[in-house]
Structure 1
Amino acid sequence: MNELTSLLNVKYPIIQGGMGNISNAILTAAVSEAGGLGMIGAGTLSPPEVEKIIVETKKRTCRPFAVNIALSVSPYVKEILSLVVKHKIRVVSLSAGNPVPYVSLLQDHGIKIISVASSVRQAKKAASAGVDVIVAEGYEAAGINSSLELTTLTLIPQIVRAVTIPVVAAGGIGDGNGLASMLALGASGVQMGTRFIATKEAPFHDEYKKRIMKANDNDTVIVGRSIGRIRRVLATEYAQTLLEYEKKGITPEKFHQLTSEDFHIIGAIKGDGVAGFMNGGQISGLINDMPSVQELLESMIKEAKQSLQHATSLFK
């Protein structure tokens, strides 16, 4: 147990990242049951859709799980917050926007607040407002990222030095060695998204999982740079189409349309890499198997311990 696991009431310092509209109760519950913190991503889902996932998740696990609200993405922020209070969700993750206006409401209901930050300034602002945990996310991560493009390796120690609350590392982590390295940098735990896609319980299309397991170190690309809307995806045919649009010139409105959750579902759930995109972090190149969530978490903890012990032995 460390400060993070005690705060979140979980066994392992491992959090599942929110996955937007492809979020589901099966994977969320599996992560929580295995000792991590599962997370439902509200994405652009309607309140009834989010509530359905919450109810199903509660049927599958009695352990804590979180709801992620991407503040600049969801059109239903207030309604989702009301659902969180109604269903007594213990942890809320706020990303893609300013968490400050929502801190008091969540604190009044005893809800722990995770705030995602991509810079020291953002982290300090959130910590000053009273959030409980900072997830510091480097641009190695899958999906929507900051245009600052700071790496996890450089971001973690700077944010750890800048705040006094637990810091969780996200972006480019998929095994026990990654966990150990982030702990060595001062993080209290890690958040992962891409690694959880290639697990037995994850109800995503087999083609999506196969593409992640076959990926090499250069099989993800950044789209949206030309308009300042960074997103990391697997290097599929659809990703190449997006890049071609950018070369010719694309409006923010058109890019937003082509990277909407509708096209995310086509890629991730239907497995169509030509007509839709598949989010994927740079860690994809390290993933070549598909364990159960329980097996993954247990192997990560074992590997992290061995890695830290080995590192310590080098100084003897």
Structure 2
Amino acid sequence: MKTIGELLHIPYPIIQGGMGNISNPILTAAISEAGGLGTIGVGTRTPEEIDQMILEVKERTSKPFALNIPITVTNYAKEMVELAIAHHVPIVTLSAGNPGKLIPILHKEGITVIVVVASVKHARKAEEAGADLLVAEGFEAAGINSSLELTTFTLIPQIVNAVQIPVIAAGGIGDGRGMAAAITLGASGIQMGTRFIATKEAPMHEAYKQKLLDAADTDTLIFGRTVGRVRRILHTPYADKLMQTEQQGLTLEEYAKLTDEDKHVLAAMEGNLEEGFLNSGQVAGLITTIPSVEELLKSMMEEAALQLQKGTNLLKEHSSLS
């Protein structure tokens, strides 16, 4: 089996989550420049907007980056695939839908395909469809999650056991200890979203970053369960309104309106926490600093190596006592 580095041509086995409509070329390029895999998230943007974003990323870095296409979220999945091909984007991440019809088209152009999954069943189907790698995402993650609500800790080893292709762990990872844990569970790399927001290069509003710095372990909420949706958001005044609305009775149409991508941009990019929401993973409670992306990735690699060595030494110590 090839390593993540060999498949994606990156020094560090760390990739950026899609981030929807708050995805931006500045952060994407910074992550790729620092040795990870930056990602442009299509979200609900138009092909014209994504075209310009791809061009800007290419101006900022010559390193590999990915395009995330959420199949059932965007109205332009076909057009986004065409953009990836036209711009020679080396890696495409497919999520939120059946990737089966798109993978052969991308492979024909030599594009590496990553598929996001949240269960063993979907992992097997993605592998059968031709995925090169999988991102297995637990519901600790920010934003839209699977209604199955499987945790990263239990999901990763089960999917690793079920498939032959590399698995990237996502959900609840924000430091080197989480990275070491994911590797111990059998993952070949990790994906992060929330942790990258709290970096110097991320052009999100300072209110967003400060909320992450201030967050405790219980400061994320799940909105939408009553209508079969699972979205993890940060505790804010608007989040309180959302939770009250759901308690009073929520329809799927109301859910869609209340969690429109524009409302996420309103809070994340403009700092309006009264009228917009902030996606956030449970990892928010771990965030206490705002490093540069380069500092973050380097420190995570060092911490992960240290934790893995400490674990090995601990096991050796216990073995010698038995």
- Partner of 1:271, secondary structure, is coil
**CA RMSD of the aligned region, Å?**
0.9
Decide which moves more: 179-188 or 240-249: 240-249
How far apart in 2 are the matches of 1:68 and 1:237? 30
Determine what percentage of the aligned residue pairs are the same residue. 57
How many angstroms apart in 2 are the aligned matches of 1:172 and 1:315? 25
Alignment partners' CA distance in 2, 1:80 and 1:102: 11
Secondary structure at the aligned position of 1:53 is classed as helix
Q: What residue number does 2:175 align with?
A: 175
TM-score, normalised relative to structure 2: 0.97
Partners of 2:247 and 2:175 lie apart in 1 by 36
Residue equivalent to 1:95: 95
- Structure 1 residue 273 displacement after superposition: 1.2
Give the aligned partner of residue 279 of structure 1.
279
- TM-fit CA distance, 1:91: 0.2
Structure 1 segments of 4+ aligned residues over 3 angstroms from their partners: none
How much has 1:267 moved relative to structure 2?
0.9
Residue 188 of structure 1: aligned partner: 188
Tell me the CA shift for residue 249 of structure 1: 1.0
Q: CA deviation at 1:272?
A: 1.3
Structure-2 residue corresponding to 1:75: 75
Is residue 2:80 matched to residue 1:64?
Answer: no
Number of matched residues? Answer: 316
TM-score (norm 1): 0.99
Counterpart code for 2:82: S
Cα distance per residue 1:22-68 (max 9 Å; x no partner): 11100000000000000000000000001111000000000000000
In structure 2, what residue type is equivalent to 1:285? G
- In the other structure, the counterpart of 1:122 is 122
> How far 1:240 sits from its partner (Å)?
1.1
Partner of 2:299: 299
**CA positional deviation for 1:70:** 0.6
Q: State the AA in 1 paired with 2:163.
A: V
Q: CA deviation at 1:290?
A: 0.2
CA distance in 2, matches of 1:9, 1:133: 13
Alignment-derived partner of residue 233 in structure 1: 233
**Partner residue of 1:248?**
248
| In structure 1, distance between residues paired with 2:206 and 2:277 | 14
Gaps of 5+ in 1: none
Kindly state the Cα deviation for residue 160 of structure 1 after the two structures are TM-superposed.
0.2
Q: Which residue number in structure 1 is paired with residue 157 of structure 2?
A: 157
1:192-235 Cα offsets, whole Å, 9 max, x none, are: 00000000000000000000011000000000001011100001
Counterpart residue type for residue 119 of structure 1: S
Separation in structure 2 between the aligned mates of residue 315 and residue 46 of structure 1, nearest angstrom = 53
> Could you say what secondary structure the match of 1:285 adopts?
helix
**Partner Cα distance (2:253, 2:55) in 1:** 34
SS at match of 1:174: coil
Cα distance in 2 for partners of 1:17, 1:188 equals 16
